Structure 1
Amino acid sequence: MTLVAFNSPPHKGSYPTIRTARGAVRRTAARRLQGRILTAAGLALLPWLGYLAGTLPPAEATAWVALDALEAAALLTAGTRLLRADPRHRAPAAAAAVLLLADAGIDLATAAPGQELATAMVMAVGAELPLAALCVVLALRPAHRPTPRR
């Protein structure tokens, strides 16, 4: 299903307007890019889950794998919904933002000084916080812009 989301649109290079019970949503280039970013981030977490499960002690692995699996699920859900212009992308985007912020905070709080702390800071600044910011913007932005009354 995810691979289908990256294919070209079937209708003359543009995505149609999707009409739902909650209103019409237009698939814009920005929304497609945001959807691709979230979907790619969710997919990138899948091999990371295996790495964590194989390298961490069992007690730690359970906690980190669970947290990162929830992040991956939220990112994939929000991303694929954005790609389909589904207005229900806001709740998973909000969940992903909270999980990403928690992950960054816990990583920084539990990292040992030195290389481990530096790695946690790079991950937080380079990946987790920007993704969380994007998710917050997507969660707070209305699904469609209301038309002005005349």
Structure 2
Amino acid sequence: MTLAPSPHFISPNSISLNSPSLTSGRTPVDTRRRRRWQGRVLVGAGLALLPWMGYLAGTLPPAQAAAWVALDALEAACLCAAGAPLLRGEPVRRGAALGAAVLLVVDACVDVATAGAGVELVQAVGMAVGVELPLAGLCGGLARSGR
């Protein structure tokens, strides 16, 4: 009497060492979907900075406006440069992701350090904790992984 192989048995020869089931537990479809989502977040954040730069340019004194608009323009460029390849299913541009991470951390620190007391400080901390630092973490993770 011969026993038929169980459908749940996986032969050691049927899995390669770089198989998603051994490395991350994610299938290639899950990884592609996650990368596209990350690309949308990065490009969306970069594009969201465009009207914000217009607001800053129109409301701040000229010297301050130039500095903040320049910083936000660099952030927007790095975010879009890091996110666009992910939308196309290509590997992330590690330099752009790292640049965005550094710029976002600097932006968060300077915002909090220069905020006045009261509502302005609460808004700066809220933006840092809720937007800038999480985006910096995503960009840093992408720069580190390079995928």
So what's the TM-score if we normalise by structure 2?
A: 0.77
Alignment correspondent of 1:71: 75
Alignment correspondent of 2:65: 61
Residue from 37, 47, 63 that aligns with 2:41 = 37
Larger helix proportion of the pair: 2
Alignment correspondent of 2:54: 50
How is 1:1-150 mapped onto 2 (pairs within 5 angstroms)?
A: 28-143=32-147
Conserved 8 A contact 2:93-2:146: no
Return 5+ residue gaps in structure 1 as ranges.
Answer: 1-24, 144-150
Q: Which amino acid aligns with 1:83?
A: L
Q: Which amino acid aligns with 2:55?
A: Y
Any runs of at least 4 consecutive aligned residues in structure 1 with deviations exceeding 6 A, and if so which? none
Return 5+ residue gaps in structure 2 as ranges.
Answer: 1-27
Count of residue pairs brought into register by the alignment:
119
Conserved 8 A contact 2:83-2:92: no
**Percent identity of the aligned residues?**
61
Larger Rg: 2
So what's the TM-score if we normalise by structure 1?
A: 0.76
Say what the alpha-carbon RMSD is for the aligned residues.
1.5
- Tell me, in whole angstroms, the C-alpha distance in 1 between the residues paired with 2:146 and 2:137: 16
